[in-house]
Structure 1
Amino acid sequence: MFKHIKQFTIGITLLALWTAGASAGVLRVGQRSGLEQAGQILQRSDFDDFGAGFHFPGSAFARGDVLYTSAENLVVGGGSGLSIGQLRPVMSNEYWSPISASIAGDIPYTLFGFDAAVTQGTVDLTVETNLGSYRFDGIALHDGARSLDFLGFQATGGEYFTGFALRSMGEGYLAGITNVTLGAARTAVAEPGGVALLLAGLGVLTVSRRGRGSANRRRAG
């Protein structure tokens, strides 16, 4: 009896570990190279074609599979007097905050990233997926005068990206983004050893149940 209980516990533990490894969530990717190595990049978009100065592309402006839905989309380029657009034009919001957008397409994107800057202060980022939302608060960014910072993410466990909102500290703190990247992560393939452990655990459960059923039948007889 105790042997069967021990075997049953081992089987349940193996199954729980396997399930935990497939749990859903969003992972932060620190470098653009890491995002590109995680799978296939399917789409890149920027705002370089707008050039210098201020531009208002419309309240619902699409670039690729990203639809920018900020209160008033604003592209800030060089010569505007704002640091965020000095290196290259960036998408921003005339009403300061947030920069918001939805992501949709025929392919469920599981890789997402962009380069960003803010005139001063920190930013908060909310990333939306088909199953929920994830907040990353107090992110420090460069002001864009000399460099931009990369923010990248990977969705796991059946989740894919559906939108985002980048919030600055409010009026006087203007954020901007460019080089927006979408892709599909490689599907994780279980190692042979992991598959063997799972099958062994399930086999133990089956043997335990059969053994217990046989013992019950002998008692009943």
Structure 2
Amino acid sequence: MFKHIHRFVIGTTLLALWTAGASAGVLRIGQRSSLEQAGQILQRSDFDDFGAGFHFPGSAFARGGIQYTSAENLVVGAGSGLSIGQRRAVMSNEYWSPISASIASEVPYTLFGFDAAVTQGTVDLIVATNLGSYRFDGIALHDGARSLDFLGFQATGGEYFTGFELRSMGEGYLAGITNVALGRTGTALPEPGGMALFLLGGGMLALAGIARRRAAR
């Protein structure tokens, strides 16, 4: 009888561990309204205060919970001659590609989104979390003169965002972003590693309790 219970507890624990790990990931959200409804937005930021023309806010420029770490941060505004900044001032990279940034980890943000444009071509986006990275390649965007496109994401299964990299097709293809949002989903989920330790400990306690009851008989 004890062997059957022992196998059941271990099997149940391993299944729960596998399920916790398998549920982790990053989901793409197509509309800003859907991102807003998925939880609470805690940080909002843009670059409208820079105004028209070109601006260089310096390396490792921080705003709204994000530190921009591109080779040379460049804010492009109206009147610059580039389409991406005609409607709104956008963060870009003087070296054309990529736009790189890290996301503050003081709050484990599970919601992330921004508006983006590229002068021409497509872009590739790499989203980094505490557990890995996710690629979204060949994303088509407007050129910024007509409109910008929203890109939104939700981290699940204990993952949270730590950074991102937006790549255009290289020199001659300049991307820019604005209206950046960071937030949390309604329910904070434990990381898979923490869940694993919790379930393993629970399984061992269950086995110890069974052993004590058998010894008392």
Q: Which amino acid aligns with 1:148?
A: L
Cα deviation digits, residues 55-98 of structure 1 (max 9, x gap): 00001100021000000000000011111001010000000000
Q: Determine the structure 1 residue equivalent to 2:106.
A: 106
Q: Determine the structure 1 residue equivalent to 2:131.
A: 131
Residue segments in structure 1 that go unaligned for 5+ positions in a row? 190-205, 215-221
Q: Determine the structure 1 residue equivalent to 2:76.
A: 76
Q: Which amino acid aligns with 2:116?
A: A
SS state of the match for residue 166, structure 1? Answer: strand
1:106 Cα deviation from its structure 2 partner: 2.1
Q: Determine the structure 1 residue equivalent to 2:88.
A: 88
Q: Which amino acid aligns with 1:51?
A: G
Q: Which amino acid aligns with 1:90?
A: V
Q: Determine the structure 2 residue equivalent to 1:31.
A: 31
TM-score by length of 2: 0.79
Q: Determine the structure 2 residue equivalent to 1:179.
A: 179
Write the distance in 1 (CA, Å) between the matches of 2:16 and 2:140.
35
Q: Which amino acid aligns with 2:141?
A: L
Write the distance in 1 (CA, Å) between the matches of 2:64 and 2:105.
9
Q: Which amino acid aligns with 1:138?
A: G
Cα deviation digits, residues 11-54 of structure 1 (max 9, x gap): 96998489537621111111111111110000000000000000
Q: Which amino acid aligns with 2:137?
A: D
Write the distance in 2 (CA, Å) between the matches of 1:134 and 1:92.
21
RMSD, aligned CA? 2.9
Aligned residues: 194
Q: 1:19 to 1:186 in 2, by over 3 A?
A: farther
Write the distance in 1 (CA, Å) between the matches of 2:105 and 2:86.
31
Tell me if the contact between 2:105 and 2:162 (Cα under 8 Å) persists in the aligned partners.
Answer: no
2:167 paired with 1:167: yes
SS state of the match for residue 35, structure 2? Answer: helix
Write the distance in 2 (CA, Å) between the matches of 1:106 and 1:127.
18
Write the distance in 2 (CA, Å) between the matches of 1:142 and 1:17.
44
Percent identity of equivalent pairs: 83
1:146 Cα deviation from its structure 2 partner: 1.1
SS state of the match for residue 134, structure 1? Answer: strand
